[in-house]
Amino acid sequence: MRGIEYVFPLIIFFGGCMKETEYQQHLKKRIKKLIPSAVVLKNDPNWLQGFPDLTILHKDSGKYALLEVKKDQFAPCRPNQEYYINSASEAGVFSAFIFPENENEVLDGLQQSLEA
């Protein structure tokens, strides 16, 4: 059953007031609720330019995933972001750009990938 956490991003998005950092906080909470055995890490954008925002470690399977968070589907990519997402995908690591408009789809894929 889909609860309020599925509606929250759309409410904020259409209200036009959510910042990327606020959306990241929402995602971290939602991922922890969806996949309790996950550890969600926020990566330092100043350490490795373009590396995805979130690394998700799955304690039960030993798998991990990378998510690049965008405040909306029109937010521009910075240099190297596509490179890291594509490189991880080619290596068999679940990786994706995530924003309110594709959140449910990406999180469903994340859950299937980590728990498979």
How large is the average pLDDT for residues 87-107?
A: 97
pLDDT, tens digit, 9 for 90 and up, residues 21-72: 899 999 999 999 999 999 999 999 889 999 999 999 999 999 999 999 999 9
Q: Distance from CA of residue 116 to its chain's centroid?
A: 18
pTM: 0.84
Q: How far apart are CA 82 and CA 69, in angstroms?
A: 12
Domain covering 4-115, topology: Trna Endonuclease; Chain: A, domain 1 (3.40.1350)
Q: How far apart are CA 74 and CA 77, in angstroms?
A: 9
Q: Where are the domains of the chain?
A: 4-115
